Structure formats: structure tokens, C-alpha cells
Amino acid sequence: MCGIVGYIGLRKAYPILIEGLKRLEYRGYDSAGIALSSENAFEVYKEAGKVSDLEKIIPDKEHLQTIGIAHTRWATHGEPTSQNAHPHYSSSKDIVVVHNGIIENFMPLKRRLIKEGYTFQSDTDTEVIVNLIEKESKKGRVSFEEAVNKALQQLHGAYALAVLSKKEPEKLIVARKGSPLAIGLGKEYSEFFIASDAIPIVEYTQDLIYLNDNEVAVLERNKKVVVKDIYGKSKSYKVKHIELDNNMVTKGEYEHFMLKEIFEQPDTLSNTIFSHLDEKENIIYFEGLGKLKKQLSEAKRILIIACGTSWHSGLIGEYLIEELARVPVEVEYASEFRYRNPIVRKDDIVFAISQSGETADTLAAMRYSKEQGATTFAICNVYGSSMAREADFVAYTYAGVEIGVASTKAFTAQIAVLSLLAIAMGQENKVLDMKKATFLMKELRKIPKLVAKTLEKDAEIERLAKKFLDVTSFLYLGRGINFPVALEGALKLKEISYIHAEGYPAAEMKHGPIAMIDEKLPTLIVGTNEMYYEKIVSNAQEVKARKGTVISVVNEGDKQLSDISDYVMTIPKVTDILQPIVVAVPLHLFSYYVAVMKGCNVDQPRNLAKSVTVE
């Protein structure tokens, strides 16, 4: 949700900011802007649309400024117009700000500021911040830093922001509450890079400081970073060295990040699985598992909270944990959970699943659970993210940077982690015998290769996708552990191709959705589970009897379901409970090709943003 980037140093700021914005575009892409600062003057450019549209309006000259801030937006308050694009000026134009987050009390603050003579050019909540800073800086001998602090003390809501002021033009001030912010350190503090995440920074430095909530950092060339809380109290900070290869954040030979990320899965799954499972010995490791084991085995209940695709992996986690560890699991949309006065007990273990580790609803639900005394366990992909830092325990998914807005490789990595956790818990609870556990671990080790084999069917899936470009609606059916995969397949098709798609438990079809079936509504059926095979075949027959088109995902060598189906996508044979990872691959590829052939922007689908840091 919005990306911010900034630079202060000795190099020209403009190319760093523009390239940074391109790398952050996955966080929001409806408008963008840039402010360059030098010698008491700001140059500000803003435009609706993508960063490429912004570039078109910026004069083609050498921009010599060595300080600047920039923003790519996902609109919350006010339409995506150039007026609402960031950076925003204060009334006197002495201060500029870029902001990611939402200021909840902006209306009363704005009314007060207007009464006091401040003027507003946009509909955004952000303009309140910059005018408040201006107002505070006018009160006697107040420094830029003090004015920022005083303004921040009045805000309710979330922010990651970067501010520049003409009065102290050699300073870049950044602050964070609720929205992520990283500071990259140049050699001997000669320069600083700031951004919503490490992706735009890694090209220049791998030494980063992640600000905590309510912290403000003052960045000045050749001076150590000064971090304080918003009341001016000094805070210590750690510099983290992160290993992030520049290749990980570029598309390489692929046309889209989404395709690259789908094809990375043999590696990402291998990384995830073998970071938590010994390659030969039957040993599962999770940091802190030793301590957590007792709580896990005594847990009366596990609550899983997540949003979107991560919620789907949470549902798969429910099947896995209940089946293998026999602990009751409840899976909740974090956004519902946090607002419905849920019952959370001290002996509950709450799994928060999130690729970004920053999703506002999941973070709030996790914090709430912690306040109620539950043990929190985050399953995250982004190192050092808010959830990873705040949870009692964290398991990383090691899927690498996911830039495509539609989650793919993070989803399968989450399922891999949940599978391992379920096996470990089953062993600890003594409900999973060594023979079964050994079998499952052996099967899991094979998954990266099976995914690679499934990816070989890419061209077939592309040909199949071509037949469904004019369809307006789709039904996805699955049973058992593959039901959440059907939900995921439908979500992916919706979000990137804008074709309506509905996921349903196959057995529930006759309680409603069957009424929709006719020759115009194709049904995609996941028919790989051995346990429900006969029943799934019957569901396919029910669709065919109503003139519906059936596309099935079947195991290699399948006969019965394949004969009934109009089209099939095959996967190699995998034991039922570990199938979701492999089944997800053709479903993601199918959505990808439908969307690409329909001319949709798969990496940046309309209205979406990757990391939903607002409610």
C-alpha cells in the first residue's frame, strides 16, 4: 500500500528515486510523485498513473539535486489524480512529505488547520501531516525535528513518512508507526537510502536499520543516524546486514514477475523445506520449537489468522494440523476476527500467516491475541517484518522476494511450513507414528522435483487457457484439503483476469451453485485426492449432465475423470495430504495465461496492491 523512497548523500538523487519507485510499484501504482531538494528550493513533479507516466512529465535534463523523496500511491483518501499524488507541500511550500499509511483523525485536524488559515490542495489525509509540521515549526524556536515530533504526537493511525524542510535543508527526517520503513546506510554514513522495504535499497547497500513504531530518524550526510521516539527520547538501533541479491528483485528473462515467481518454486520450496527439515535425517527444525513444543502439545486449540491467499494456506493448515496432530484449529479472516470481540484464551496458539508480515488486519489481530495472553506464532516471508518481530515465535518461508501482486510462491512456501509444523506437532503429540512421519517427510523432500515436473506442462496450460478468454464466470471445485486450493485458484483468476470466479467445496455444489451451471459456465475441478475420487467423478458428471464444461486437474495416468472432462491438466502423483502445493501450480499458471492473453497487467492488477497496510 503505497511505497516511499528517499535519498540524501552525494550522488544524484533523481535516478535513485525513479528506479526505487519502479521497484516499489507493486505496493501501489495509481499515481506517483517526486520532490528534489537543493539550496532552499524544492522541485516537485506528480502525475496520475504509473511511474512511467510520471517520468514523461519530468523535464529531460540533468537533475543535480542530491536530496529527494518520492512516492507511488494506492489511493485511500481522494481519487488517484496528480493533485492527490504525493509529495505534498505545506501551505507555505516550505515543507514536503511523502506518506504511506492512513491518518484516522485527519478530519478534525484538517478542520482546525483550515480555521487557522492553512490551505489544502488535495483530498488526502497526508496534507494534514505536513501542515501540522509547519504549524508546529512556527511556534517559537522549534527545530525541524521537534516540529515533526510534535505533529506526530497528534496523529492517530499509521504512517511511514519522509519529510524535507527548507529551513533545515540538509536533513531528511523519517518516521514510522504501523507502516514499514527501512533505512539503508551508505559507507561511513556518507549517504542514506530510505524505502518502504529493502528492494529499492539493496543495489546500493545491504546494511539496514528497520525503524520501530513511534520512532523518528534524522538523516544527515556524514553523521551517525539519530533515532528517537516521537517524544524525543533517544532509542538504540541495530544495523542488520541483509543478503538480497539484485537478481532476486528483477524479472530476469521472464516477461512478468508472476511467471518468474511461479517458475522459481522448485528452488523456493527447496529453500523452505530444507531450512526446516534435514535433507536426510528425519529432523524438523523451527527456531524456538524446543520452547514452543510444550505449548503446542498442550494447546487446546490453534487459531489461524490471515487474509487473502494467506488465509487459503491457513485453511490448508487446518486440514494438515487436525489430520496429523489432532489439535482443533479455527481459521479466521483477520479482518473479521479483530472486530468481532473474539474469544482468545491464554492457552491458545495463534498462527498469523502473512507473506509481507505487514498486512494491517493480520497484524492487528495478532497483537490483539497477544494482549489476551495467547502465544503468537508468525509464518512470514519478509525478514524483519512487523509480524516477524512482534510474534512470540516466527517461522520464515524463505520464498525470496515476491514482487508480483498476486501471491504464488509465498503461498506454496506457507503450505510447506504448515506441513512441517503439522508433522512436528503430530510427533510431539504422539498421534503421528514414526512410520507415517518418516513417509511424509520423504514425500515432502520430493515436492520441489514434482513441482518442477508440473511446470513442464506450462505450454499445455497456456494452450488450454486460450480457450477461455471470452468466459465471464468460472466455478472452481475441490474436496478435502484441495477445497482451499480451489478457493485460491478462483481468487487468482478473479484478481488478475477480472473474470468472476467462485471457489466451492465440490459436495456443496448441489446446495446452490449447481443452479448456475449451463454451457456458458466452465467448472474447474480438482480431482486428485485418492480419498474422494469417486465422489469427485460424480460431481464432474453432475456438471456434464447440465451441459457444463469440465476442466479437471488429475493425476498422471488418470482415466475415469479424464474421460468425463472436456479438458485436463495433469500433476504427478502425490500423497493426498501434501497435494495442495503441487495442485496450486497449474491453477496459478492457468490464471496467469488467461490474464496475459486478455491483455491484463498481471503484475499490477487494477485496484490492488501487494502489501495491504491499511484496513
- Residue linked to cell 539550496: 39
Q: Is 2 a catalytic residue?
A: yes
Cβ 140 to ligand F6R, closest distance in Å? 44
Residue 610 annotated to the active site: yes
Decide: 438 and 426 in contact? Cβ < 8 Å.
no
Residue 334 phi/psi, 5° resolution? -60, -35
Angle at 521 between CA 519 and CA 523, to 5 degrees: 110
DSSP per-residue codes, 440-497: HHHHHHHHHHHHHHHHTTHHHHHHHHGGGTT--EEEEEE-GGGHHHHHHHHHHHHHHH
Cell of 523: 467448472
**Which listed residue (22, 110, 492, 610) is catalytic?**
610
**Long-range CB contacts (within 8 A, 24+) of 238-243:** 238/209, 239/185, 239/207, 239/208, 239/209, 240/207, 240/208, 240/209, 240/210, 240/384, 241/206, 241/207, 241/208, 242/198, 242/202, 242/206, 242/208, 242/383, 242/384, 243/206
User: Are 449 and 474 within 8 A, CB to CB?
Assistant: no
Identify whether the C-beta of residue 123 lies closer than 8 Å to the C-beta of residue 82: no
Q: Considering the complex, what minimum distance in angstroms separates the CB of residue 362 from ligand F6R?
A: 5
The least distance separating ligand F6R from the CB of residue 303, rounded to whole angstroms, comes to: 16
Complex with ligand F6R: residue 483 or 533, whichever CB lies closer: 483
In the complex, least distance from residue 498 CB atom to ligand F6R, rounded to whole angstroms: 14
**Bridge partners, 352 (sequence order):** 305, 378
How far is Cα 70 from Cα 68, in angstroms, rounded to an integer? 7
> Given the rule CB under 6 A, which residues bind ligand F6R?
307-310, 354-356, 359, 362, 406-407, 495, 611-612
* Alpha-carbon gap, residue 427 to 419, rounded angstroms: 12
CA distances (Å), origin 504, targets 421, 479, 487, 514: 27, 9, 7, 11
CB of 97 closer than 8 Å to CB of 86: yes
Name the residue nearer to ligand F6R (CB basis): 33 or 489.
489
Judged by beta carbon, residue 72 or residue 613, the one nearer ligand F6R is 613
Q: Which is nearer to ligand F6R, 363 or 444 (CB)?
A: 363
- Cα gap 133→137, rounded to integer Å: 6
Toward ligand F6R, which CB reaches closer, 4 or 612? Answer: 612
CB neighbourhood size of 516 (10 A): 15
Q: Toward ligand F6R, which CB reaches closer, 359 or 419? A: 359
Q: How far is the CB of 595 from ligand F6R (least distance, A)?
A: 12
Give the angle subtended at the CA of 597 by the CAs of 595 and 603, to the nearest 5°.
40
Give yes or no for a contact between 596 and 256, defined as CB atoms under 8 angstroms apart: yes
SS3 386: helix
Residues 2, 307, 380, 600: which is the catalytic one? 2
CB of 30: closest distance to ligand F6R in angstroms? 17
Cβ partners under 8 Å of residue 264, min gap 6: 399, 400, 409
Q: Give the integer Cα–Cα distance in Å for 331 and 221.
A: 48
Q: Where do we find the cell 502425490?
A: 574
CA gap 181, 387 in Å, rounded: 14
Q: HSE-up of 254 (CA within 13 Å, CB side)?
A: 20
Q: Which is nearer to ligand F6R, 261 or 428 (CB)?
A: 261
**Residue closer to ligand F6R, measured from CB, 94 or 488:** 488
**Burial of residue 591, with CB atoms counted within 10 A of its CB: 0-12 exposed, 13-18 middle, 19 or more buried:** buried
| Other beta carbons less than 10 A from residue 430's beta carbon | 10
Shortest Å, Cβ 408 to ligand F6R? 8
State the nearest-atom distance from the C-beta of 1 to ligand F6R, in Å.
Answer: 10
Considering the complex, what minimum distance in angstroms separates the CB of residue 586 from ligand F6R?
Answer: 16
Distance CA 463, CA 213 (A): 49
Count CB neighbours of 170 within 10 A: 12
Taking CB atoms, the residue at the shortest distance from ligand F6R is 308
User: Closest approach of Cβ 229 to ligand F6R, in Å?
Assistant: 27
Closer by beta carbon to ligand F6R, 161 or else 413:
413
Q: With respect to ligand F6R, which residue has the nearer C-beta, 91 or 356?
A: 356
Please answer whether residues 55 and 70 qualify as being in contact, where contact means their C-beta atoms are separated by less than 8 angstroms: no
Closer to ligand F6R by Cβ: residue 348 or 495 = 495
CB of 315 to ligand F6R, least distance (A): 13
| Active centre residues (catalytic) | 2, 610
